A and B are shown apart, each in its own frame.
Chain A
Amino acid sequence: MDILEGLLHGLEVALSVQNLLFVLLGVTVGMMVGVLPGLGPAPTVALLIPLTFTLDGPTAIILLAGVYYGAMYGGTITSVLLRIPGEAASVVSTMDGHAMARQGQAGKALGLAAIGSFAGGLFATACLILFSPTLADFALGFGSPEYAVLALLGLFLVAYTSAGTTLKSLVAIGIGLLVASVGPDPITASPRWTLGVPDLLGGFEIVAIIMGVFGLSELLVNITESRRPTSVTRTIGRVLPTGRDIADSAGAVGRGSVIGTALGLIPGGGGVLASLVSYGVERRVSKQPEEFGSGVPQAVSGPETANNAASISTFIPLLTLGFPPNGVLAVIFGALLIQGVTPGPELIGDHPDIFWGVVVSMVIGNLVLLVMNIPLLPVFVKIAQIPPGTMATITVAILVIGAYSINGNPFDVAVMIGAGLVGYLLRKLGIPPAPLVLAFILGPIFETNFRRSLVVSDGNITVFASSPVAVALLVVLGVVIVTAVTGRLWRMRSARPGHAGEERARRLP
């Protein structure tokens, strides 16, 4: 199926009444969770998984993807108006975005962010369309050694790029790997760590783990430390930016699109990293860097473009390699498994409905968000003020019923609650929980392929350098490790205490 044929097929899927309804539902829910402080996209997508059990594959993923990029739009609103990041990736907009709001330019900030997000979303979707099929074809040639090295590289990148310190990410990764080792040995099928419990013979249910670690733990954190807006701006002002405003921000939007799309591809990347890097870049290229923080439009339009672009390009590694680069995509990985679809290089060819349908729905969804954003602002501001307790009650019910309905097994409810408590504890210790879930997925991919390679090669370790791709991946792995270690040393020497990162880690997926 070539690209044009694929797009036509995607249009057919995405324009069905059902899928149009669900993209609308997805982006609306996404906007709302983006607006609601505390409830980020990962827990929301985890909460919505049970709803997708009854849906077709394409519809399920269209809905969940819509929530993710919808949240990127919504998060800006709370950041700008209330100076609370509605979700993690909009955290930088609390600086210049809110400063603009206090100068009566809230509308301009939001308008620029929405237009930037739309442009970034389109750019990332175009990349998704152009590169995914080629990348998947390329990945089809990957054997066990390549996958083993790739998974290892993924684990290191997650450790290196996640919120919080590398050491803390490593702790989360270690826990994830341990939890993943419960169940049958991938080569011999002998049970490991099952303690004679039949429910553990197949290992922990991935969706229950995800719902607990993202959903329940987030909720517990919200209840125990609810935040109130400290600075509310009600004047929104003119929303549609002038031609001049747009021209001023064009560079920032262009750079944000590229930065966001690129950083979405990296394990551990996605919205937060993308918006932070974009903010840094804008500050560097600006002629007046000292004004950053006092309401510079580019400091809003760039990062907001980048986080939306990243939220879409994160689908590339999932749909071509079967690797979820961040927490939200880990949840979507689980949703695909429930649909009977194993994410990997075969996905585009075997399930064109899902790939092309979702891609086209992203264009539609971004358009809906752009249009919806502006007239509905007053409604979203109201939503941002819903007390966390009300949300919590509904959320707990959904989590328990959802965990039960994965397999109709009460054991999964216990797993979900256990995972939630562990996640809560980790957040309290400033350890980001997303690496735990990513390690839970990447660990078994690494172990299975590593051991498989060694069986095939009869124990010869050079099998991991037996193809050009494997060698290239090993080199990248080496570079990442060296950078991480030397970067660490450098940081220790300049010893600057930074609690901001830990605070972020606690709040963020």
Chain B
Amino acid sequence: MRAALAGSVPDLSTTTKGTQMRTLITTTGVLAAMVALVSCGQTQNSASTDDYPDRPIDLIIPVPAGSSTDVSTRFVVPCIEEELDATIVVENRDGGGGAVGNGLFAQAEADGYTLVSTSVGNAVVPPIAEGGVGYEPDSFLPVGMIGQAPVVLVVAADSPYTSAEEFFAGAASERLVVGIPGPTSVPGISITALTSTQDLQLEAVPFTGNGNTIQALLGGEVDAAYLSADGGVTLPRIQSGEVVALATAVDEPAPSLPDVPTLVSLGFDGLPLGDSFWFLATQVDTPEPIVTTLEGAMETCMSNGDIQAQIGEGVAPPEFIPGSDVQEMLETAARGYEEFLQ
């Protein structure tokens, strides 16, 4: 029904996949009210799980179009559509640090027709920090990892500090200012944990996003930046030598930064998981066969070398990370953040 309506609207843009998709999203958005009216009369018959999917699937992305979660998800979507033989309607529902989109997802029926692609920060932070957002960190049943970006401490190439040891020795004796990409970002929580458990004179200053934070570092406004090593902003600048990675906040050396020491290896224990990751999820009550179908599609698509390359080397997991593993990481993150968010 929705697809038919959307299809009848002339496509004004060029016929690249991206714009078609965007046309579809907006058209759907515009028509959603109409569709809602039309479908009022029909009662949704409880979908038989055998012929899943037999209608288009909504995929909510709770962040704006163009962000790294959004872009990498859109690389995977066409493949999942092919695997499931279904249309996926991607909808960006941003607002409230992910609270709006994730809330809509959590309140939708657990029938596999409303999925979400969310980052750990958007899944965990709003329910803990704000509460009453319509979902909890355990409202998500992950079906596979899409991308990972470890939190990394970087300094400018001309910084007096050339290693993590020197930097932390410096922070023990003088006030150092560290730029973070946002107050409730994963790096923001991680640095709160670092400063509240260690005797360091680190002052965290929130900027807006990774690009803005790196700019402040390169402009000499802050002594260091603590942000996720995403494929769009941070990794390219580490590779070009503009900034130097001193340490990562993950337990094992990150695939994208194998030679950078971890904070754990430097003796900082008890920190929450400093890993920004994003994943595809359905609701916890989704029937088992549907979850299996979705996870199967994700495994095939995330193992595809082309898709991995599009998402970015080191960002897309080299080996498929199944839902159960993601769930474990999500639970660890939620436990770790809870302590430092309140």
Q: Which 4 A-B pairs have the closest CB atoms?
A: A340-B66, A201-B96, A189-B183, A202-B95
Whether the Cβ atoms of A53 and B96 lie closer than 8 Å is: no
Q: Tell me whether A407 and B215 are in contact (CB under 8 A).
A: no
A-B contact pairs, 11 of them (CB 8 A): A53-B22, A53-B26, A55-B12, A143-B216, A144-B216, A199-B95, A202-B94, A202-B100, A339-B65, A346-B215, A408-B29
A290 lies within 8 A of chain B by Cβ? no
Using an 8 Å CB-CB cutoff, how does the interface string of B175-203 with A read, 1 for contact, 0 for none? 10100001110000000000000000001
Given A405-B30, A409-B100 in contact, is the A140-B126 Cβ separation under 8 Å?
no
Contact call B221/A456, Cβ cutoff below 8 A = yes
User: Is the C-beta of A294 less than 8 angstroms from some C-beta in chain B?
Assistant: no
Q: Beyond A340-B66, A408-B91, is A59–B13 a contact (Cβ under 8 Å)?
A: yes
A291 at the interface (CB under 8 A from B): no
Residue A230 is within 8 A (CB to CB) of chain B in the complex: no
Beyond A144-B221, A189-B184, is A202–B96 a contact (Cβ under 8 Å)? Answer: yes
**Residue B129 at the A interface, CB < 8 A?**
yes
Whether the pair A54, B95 counts as a contact (CB closer than 8 A) is no
Which of B26, B92, B205, B220 lies in contact with A54, CB distance below 8 A?
Answer: B26
Question: Residue A198 at the B interface, CB < 8 A?
Answer: yes
Q: In the complex, how many angstroms separate the beta carbon of B46 from the nearest chain A beta carbon?
A: 26
**A184 within 8 A of partner (CB):** yes
- Contact A199:B100 (CB < 8 A) given known A191-B130, A408-B29, A408-B32: yes
Known: A143-B221, A202-B94, A456-B205. A18 touches B216 (CB 8 A): no
Q: Is the CB of A192 closer than 8 A to any CB of chain B? A: no
| Contact call A407/B100, Cβ cutoff below 8 A | yes
B182 touches A189 (CB 8 A): yes
Chain B residues in the interface with A (C-beta under 8 A)? 11-14, 19, 22-23, 25-27, 29-30, 32-33, 64-67, 70, 91-97, 99-100, 103, 126, 129-130, 132-134, 175, 177, 182-184, 203, 205-209, 211, 215-216, 219-222
Question: 4 more A-B contacts (CB under 8 A) besides A53-B22, A409-B93, A409-B100?
Answer: A55-B12, A340-B67, A456-B205, A458-B175
Interface size on A, residues (CB 8 A): 45
A456 touches B222 (CB 8 A): yes
A188 and B183 contacting across the interface, CB-CB below 8 Å: yes
The complex places the Cα of A188 from the Cα of B188 at a distance, in Å, of 10
For residue A342, which residues in chain B have a CB less than 8 angstroms away from its CB?
208-209, 211
Q: Which residues of B contact A405 (CB under 8 A)?
A: 26, 29-30
Asked, given contacts A188-B183, A201-B97, A455-B205, whether A404 binds B126 with beta carbons under 8 Å apart, the answer is no
Q: For A378, what are the chain B residues with a Cβ–Cβ distance below 8 Å?
A: none
By a CB distance below 8 angstroms, the chain B residues around A456 are 177, 203, 205, 221-222
Chain A residue nearest to B34 in the complex (CB): A401
Q: Which A residues are in CB contact (< 8 Å) with B97?
A: 184, 189, 201-202
Taking CB atoms, residues of chain A closer than 8 Å to B134 are 198
Establish whether residues B26 and A50, one from each chain, have CB atoms under 8 Å apart when the complex forms.
yes
Q: How far is the CA of A456 from the CA of B184 in the complex (A)?
A: 18
| Interface contact A54-B207, CB-CB below 8 Å | no
Decide yes or no whether A196 CB sits under 8 A from chain B: yes
Does A455 lie within 8 Å of B203, measured CB to CB? yes
Taken together as a complex, chains A and B put the C-alpha atoms of A207 and B64 apart, in Å, by 14
Closest Cβ–Cβ distance, residue B67 to chain A (whole Å): 7
* Interface: A448 (CB within 8 A): yes
Which residues of the partner chain A approach B65 to less than 8 Å between Cβ atoms?
338-340
CB of B339 to closest CB in A, whole Å: 17
Asked whether A452 is an interface residue with its Cβ less than 8 Å from the other chain, the reply is: yes
Whether B222 and A408, one on each chain, are in contact in the complex, defined by CB atoms closer than 8 angstroms, is no
**B203 and A201: CB pair below 8 A?**
no
Q: How far is the CB of A26 from chain B (nearest CB, A)?
A: 13
A174 at the interface (CB under 8 A from B): no
Q: Does A187 sit at the interface, judged by CB under 8 A?
A: yes
A185 to B92, CA, bound (A): 23
Whether A452 touches B99, Cβ cut-off 8 Å, given contacts A54-B13, A404-B29, A405-B26, is no
Q: Which of A281-339 contact B (CB under 8 A)?
A: 337-339
A452 & B206 in contact (Cβ 8 Å cutoff): yes
Contacts of A458 in B (CB 8 A): 175, 203
Query: Taking the complex as formed, is A141 at the interface, i.e. its CB lies under 8 A from any CB of chain B?
Result: yes
Question: Does the CB pair B126–A201 fall under 8 Å?
Answer: yes
| Choice from B13, B91, B203 contacting A56 with Cβ under 8 Å | B13
Residues of A within 8 A of B183 (CB): 184-189
A50 touches B100 (CB 8 A): no
Q: Which residue of the partner chain A has the closest CB to B27?
A: A54
Residues of A within 8 A of B221 (CB): 143-144, 456
| B64 closest partner in A (C-beta) | A340
**Do the beta carbons of B12 and A54 come within 8 Å of each other?**
yes
Q: Smallest CB-CB separation from A340: which chain B residue?
A: B66
Query: In the assembly, what is the distance between CA of A201 and CA of B11, in Å?
Result: 34
B residues within 8 A CB of A186?
183, 206
When distances are taken between beta carbons in the complex, the residues of chain A under 8 Å from B219 are 140-143
Closest to A51 in B: B12
Q: Write the chain B residue with the least CB distance to A350.
A: B211
Interface members, chain A 365-423 (any B CB < 8 Å): 401, 404-405, 407-409
Within 8 Å CB of A144, what residues of B?
216, 221
In the assembly, what is the distance between CA of A55 and CA of B29, in Å? 15
Cβ contact within 8 Å between B33 and A404: yes
Is there contact, CB below 8 Å, between B206 and A18? no
Interface centre among B67, B130, B211 (most CB of A within 10 A): B130
Q: Which residues does chain A contribute within 8 Å of B133, judged by CB atoms?
A: 198, 201
For residue A409, which residues in chain B have a CB less than 8 angstroms away from its CB?
93, 95, 100
Complex: chain B residue closest to A444, CB-CB? B208
Which of A188, A202, A346 counts the most B-chain CB atoms under 10 A from its CB?
A202
Interface centre among A142, A341, A455 (most CB of B within 10 A): A455
Q: Which residues of B contact A141 (CB under 8 A)?
A: 219
Q: Provide the A243-267 mask, 1 if CB < 8 A to any CB of B, else 0.
A: 0000000000000000000000000
Known: A141-B219, A186-B206, A409-B100. A54 touches B19 (CB 8 A): yes
| B25 surroundings in chain A (CB, below 8 A) | 53
- B206 neighbours in A (Cβ, 8 Å): 186-187, 189, 452
Give the chain B neighbours of A59 by CB distance below 8 A.
13
Contact call A56/B19, Cβ cutoff below 8 A: yes
- List residues 455-503 of chain A with CB under 8 A from any CB of chain B: 455-456, 458
Asked if B99 and A55 make an inter-chain contact with CB atoms under 8 angstroms apart, the answer reads no
Q: Is the CB of B216 within 8 A of A56?
A: no
Cβ of B184: which chain A residues have Cβ within 8 Å of it? Answer: 184, 189
With contacts A54-B13, A189-B183, A448-B208 known, is A407 near B94, CB below 8 A? yes
| Neighbouring B residues of A185 by C-beta, 8 Å | 183
CB proximity of A460 to chain B, nearest CB, Å: 12
Output the least CB separation between B176 and chain A (Å): 11
Pick from B13, B132, B205: contact of A198, CB under 8 Å: B132
